[in-house]
């Protein structure tokens, strides 16, 4: 399969996944659509479990006794808005869900997910009518969405508590860049599913069970990551987007789109598992950048490594520009590189897990404990 064919496949899968809205708190409403999309794309997974918190867990069993369990996690939820008030004239007031930059909102198109999807646009005051109050921006709660509906029709279709997301629009640009809403974190789910399909097509005889978690609530409180701790996996690779290089972002905190994926060293990640991921990348000739996020990676690794008895975590990321916007942008080559690395890591994980377990049994004085 050529890169061009793979890139077209990645684009099509990304288009399908990003078209499904799931603002934090509404994941369970769209779980069936996600499940259907996954099983239509690959038969690598044996089953799917829907969690009460809204997340999904897909499992592949290697059918070997006492096999180690490897978790790949990408969060299902996205940033967005929630309806707080219906106003006269077809206007709607909302509040943000997750980190939304209000500088991006004026004249932005949105979709309110009510009885049916309702399109609208954030009201932008024309410059010649704006009050002379400097460059101060109003709070999001003071910016309205214009739906163009009558009051009666608006009340029929939208109610307080409905979620709202950026309007869907998938674009493919020059230099293998694609952009859409919800790339954070659907693009990492695409990488995991591409890896699953690669392993399926190669008919790999894995020595570990593989779990793919489409976790919930990462953008707001991380409860979906905490729940995963109860799975007691032997290791987890948490996938999320990170900052693509831009003129206002320091090079030590970002990396260039198209130059590969990134791995993070942090106090919340397992150094042994992270080192193993770096080693796999070198063996598989996958470009990998190293980032230092000393205290907090801003991912589910923070919650997963601290939940229950703690799960050893590594963080793998895909660089993205314009995060938490309607035009989050990534490079297809980075997605492919990420998928290749996940395949290589899953193949070597039984040995990696065994080495980690052996080191855990070694006491501080160098003796092996019972």
pLDDT reported for residue 2: 59
pLDDT reported for residue 370: 38
Helix (H, G, I), strand (E, B) or coil at 41: helix
Alpha-carbon distance 355 to 21, whole Å? 41
pLDDT reported for residue 103: 84
**pTM of the full predicted structure?**
0.92
Alpha-carbon distance 169 to 179, whole Å? 8
Q: Is the model's pLDDT at 273 over the cut of 60?
A: yes
DSSP label of 136:
P
Give ranges for CATH 2.40.30.40 in the chain.
Answer: 80-166
Max alpha carbon distance in the chain (Å)?
77
Q: Is the model's pLDDT at 131 over the cut of 70?
A: no
Q: 80-166 has which fold?
A: Elongation Factor Tu (Ef-tu); domain 3 (2.40.30)
Residue with tokens 């990321």: 317
CATH code given to domain 3-78+181-361: 3.40.630.10
Contact by Cβ (8 Å): 261, 176: no
Give me the mean pLDDT over the 25-44 stretch.
94
121: exposed, middle or buried (Cβ count in 10 Å: 0-12, 13-18, 19+): middle
Q: Is the model's pLDDT at 248 over the cut of 80?
A: no
> Which of 160-164, 189-193, 307-311 has the lowest average pLDDT?
307-311
Residue with tokens 């897990």: 353
pLDDT reported for residue 50: 95
Mean of all residue pLDDT scores within the chain = 91
Starting at the edge strand found earlier in the chain, the sheet holding 171-172 runs 171-172, 177-180, 328-331
Q: Give 128 or 310, the one with higher predicted confidence.
A: 310
Contact by Cβ (8 Å): 332, 318: no
Residue with tokens 């499992």: 59
Alpha-carbon distance 313 to 198, whole Å? 23
The size of the chain, in residues, is: 370
Give me the mean pLDDT over the 68-90 stretch.
96
pLDDT band at 128 (very low <50, low <70, confident <90, very high): low
Q: Percentage of the chain surpassing pLDDT 90? A: 74
Give me the mean pLDDT over the 15-42 stretch.
94
Contact by Cβ (8 Å): 63, 205: no
User: Measured in whole angstroms, how far is the alpha carbon of residue 135 from the centre of its chain?
Assistant: 33
Give me the mean pLDDT over the 310-331 stretch.
95
pLDDT band at 122 (very low <50, low <70, confident <90, very high): very high
Q: Is the model's pLDDT at 363 over the cut of 70?
A: no
Residue 176 vs residues 5, 16, 321: alpha-carbon distances, Å: 12, 18, 14
Residue with tokens 């307080």: 160
Q: Give 43 or 137, the one with higher predicted confidence.
A: 43
Give me the mean pLDDT over the 143-167 stretch.
96
Q: Which of 194, 210, 196 is nearest to 43 (CA)?
A: 196
Give ranges for CATH 3.40.630.10 in the chain.
Answer: 3-78+181-361
């Amino acid at each position: 399969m050529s890169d061009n064919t793979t890139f077209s496949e990645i684009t099509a899968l990304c288009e399908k996944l990003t078209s499904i809205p799931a603002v934090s708190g509404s994941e369970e409403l769209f779980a069936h659509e996600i499940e259907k999309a996954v099983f239509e794309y690959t038969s690598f997974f044996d089953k799917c479990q829907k969690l009460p918190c809204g997340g999904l867990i897909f499992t592949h069993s290697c059918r070997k006794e006492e096999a180690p369990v490897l978790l790949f996690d990408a969060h299902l939820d996205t940033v967005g808005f929630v309806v707080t008030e219906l106003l006269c004239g077809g206007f709607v007031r909302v509040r943000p869900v997750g980190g939304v930059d209000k500088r991006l909102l004026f004249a932005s198109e949105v979709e309110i997910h009510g009885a049916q999807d309702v399109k609208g646009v954030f009201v932008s005051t024309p410059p010649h009518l704006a009050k002379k109050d400097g460059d101060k921006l109003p709070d999001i709660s003071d910016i309205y969405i214009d739906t163009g509906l009558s009051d009666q029709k608006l009340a029929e279709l939208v109610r307080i508590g409905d979620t709202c997301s950026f309007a869907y629009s998938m674009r493919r640009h020059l230099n293998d860049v694609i952009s859409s809403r919800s790339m954070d974190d659907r693009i990492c789910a695409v990488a995991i599913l591409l890896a699953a399909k690669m392993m399926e097509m190669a008919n790999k005889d894995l020595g570990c069970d593989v779990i793919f978690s489409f976790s919930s609530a990462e953008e707001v409180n991380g409860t979906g990551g905490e729940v995963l701790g109860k799975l007691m996996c032997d290791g987890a690779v948490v996938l999320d987007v990170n900052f693509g290089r831009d003129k206002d972002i320091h090079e030590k905190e970002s990396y260039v789109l198209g130059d590969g994926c990134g791995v993070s060293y942090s106090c919340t990640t397992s150094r042994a598992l992270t080192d193993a991921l770096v080693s796999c990348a070198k063996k598989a000739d996958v470009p990998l950048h190293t980032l230092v996020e000393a205290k907090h990676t801003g991912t589910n690794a923070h919650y997963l490594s601290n939940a229950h008895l703690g799960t050893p975590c590594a963080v793998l990321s895909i660089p993205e520009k314009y995060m938490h916007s309607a035009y989050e942008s990534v490079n297809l080559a980075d997605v492919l590189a990420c998928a290749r690395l996940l395949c290589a890591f899953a193949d070597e994980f039984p040995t990696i897990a065994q080495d980690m377990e052996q080191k855990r049994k070694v006491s501080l004085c160098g003796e092996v404990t019972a």
